[in-house]
Amino acid sequence: MRSTTESPIILKLIITPIIICSFFLFLGVLTRTSFTSFLQNPSSIFQTSNSTNVPADPQESQSTTPTSCQSLPFTPACTKIPPSLANSLVHYATTKITPQQTLEEISVSLRILEKKSPCNFLVFGLGHDSLMWISLNHGGRTVFLEQDKSWIKKIQEKIPTLESYHVVYDTTLHQADELLKIGMQEEVCKVVTDPRFSKCQLAFKGFPTDVYDTEWDLIMVDAPTGYFDAAPGRMKVIYTAGLMARNRKDGETDVFLHDVDRIVEDEFSKSFLCEGYLVEQVGRIRHFNIPSHRTRLSRPYCP
C-alpha cells in the first residue's frame, strides 16, 4: 500500500478532485436540508427578522439570546469544512507522493463509498492514501492493519487521529501453493464461522479482537507485502476477509483486492472471494460483493 514518488501534477489530478467532490457533496446535503426547512416554513426567516427589530414583548426581548450566524436558507454560512476533508485537501495539494492505486482503480471503491458512507471500512495496509480513505468515509470508522511498526509510527506522526493496528503475519509467500490446496480440499475451510474459531489453516487469528467483532461494510486488501518469497503474502488475509464477510449477521460486504495481476492474488481471490461474487475488475483491482451466509445456511460457499 506504500507508494512511489512521482510528479505532483499527476497526484493533484488524481486525488484533489476526489476530495473536493466529497466536500461539495457534504455541502450539498446541508444546503438541501436548509432548503427543505425553508419550504416547510417559509415565514421563519421573516419571523426572525421581525423579532430582532420589533420585539412583541419587552420581557421576551430581554430573555432572548441573539442567534449568531443567521443567514438565508440557501447559504449555510455556519457550516465549516470537516477537519478530515480540510487536512486531505492540504495534504494532497502539497505532497509529491502518489498513491499506489490509479484514479480508475480508486474510483471503483469510491462509487461504493458514495453509497454506503458513513460506514465501517477495514483497510489492510497503511500508506500515503490512508488520509484519502478516511476522508471519503467521513463520519464513519476507518481502521488500518499494518505489518510494519515503524511505518505505523511514521504515518501517525502526520495523521495523529488515524486508527491503525500492528499485525504480525505467520506465513511466507512460498507457502501459497500448499495453502491453496488445503483451502480447496479440506471441508473445514468451507464452514462459515468466526475466523477465531475456524479449523481451517487459512483463517487468520492474529487480528485485534475488535476487528473480528465488527461487521465491516467495506474491506480493502492492499497488504501485506506479497512480491517476494520471504514476504508474508496475502493468502490468509484474502481467505479471512471472505470469511468475515460471509459470517456477518445479515447484509453484504464489498471486498476490494489490489494487485490481482499477481498469481497469489488472482488465484486466491477466485477461489475464496469467488468469481460468482465478482462485480468488476478495473486495472489491478477487483471488487467482490459477498452476502451474509448466516441468513441462508444452505447457500454454497461459492455461487
Grid cell at residue 261: 495481476
Report pLDDT digits (tens) over 167-184: 999 999 999 999 999 999
Please state, in angstroms and rounded to a whole number, the distance separating the CA atoms of residues 198 and 210: 17
CATH top-level class of 99-291: alpha beta
Report pLDDT digits (tens) over 102-154: 999 999 999 999 999 999 999 999 988 999 999 999 999 999 999 999 999 99
Grid cell at residue 84: 478530515
Q: Where in the chain is the domain with CATH 3.40.50?
A: 99-291
Given a cut of 90, whether residue 289 has pLDDT beyond it is yes
Given a cut of 70, whether residue 47 has pLDDT beyond it is no
Establish how many alpha carbons lie within 13 A of residue 11's alpha carbon, considering only the half-sphere containing its beta carbon: 22
The confidence score (pLDDT) of residue 155 equals 92
Report pLDDT digits (tens) over 213-272: 999 999 999 999 999 999 999 999 999 999 999 999 999 999 999 999 999 999 999 999
Cβ(69)–Cβ(78) below 8 Å: yes
Please state, in angstroms and rounded to a whole number, the distance separating the CA atoms of residues 142 and 116: 13
Handedness of CA 236, 242, 243, 248 (dihedral sign): positive
Please state, in angstroms and rounded to a whole number, the distance separating the CA atoms of residues 267 and 97: 31
* Mean pLDDT, range 47-53, rounded to an integer: 42
Backbone angles phi and psi of 236, in degrees to 5 = -70, -35
Question: Which region among 47-51, 228-232, 299-303 has the lowest average model confidence (pLDDT)?
Answer: 47-51
The confidence score (pLDDT) of residue 93 equals 52
Please state, in angstroms and rounded to a whole number, the distance separating the CA atoms of residues 46 and 50: 6
Please state, in angstroms and rounded to a whole number, the distance separating the CA atoms of residues 282 and 168: 30
**Distance between alpha carbon 3 and the CA centroid of its chain, in Å?**
18
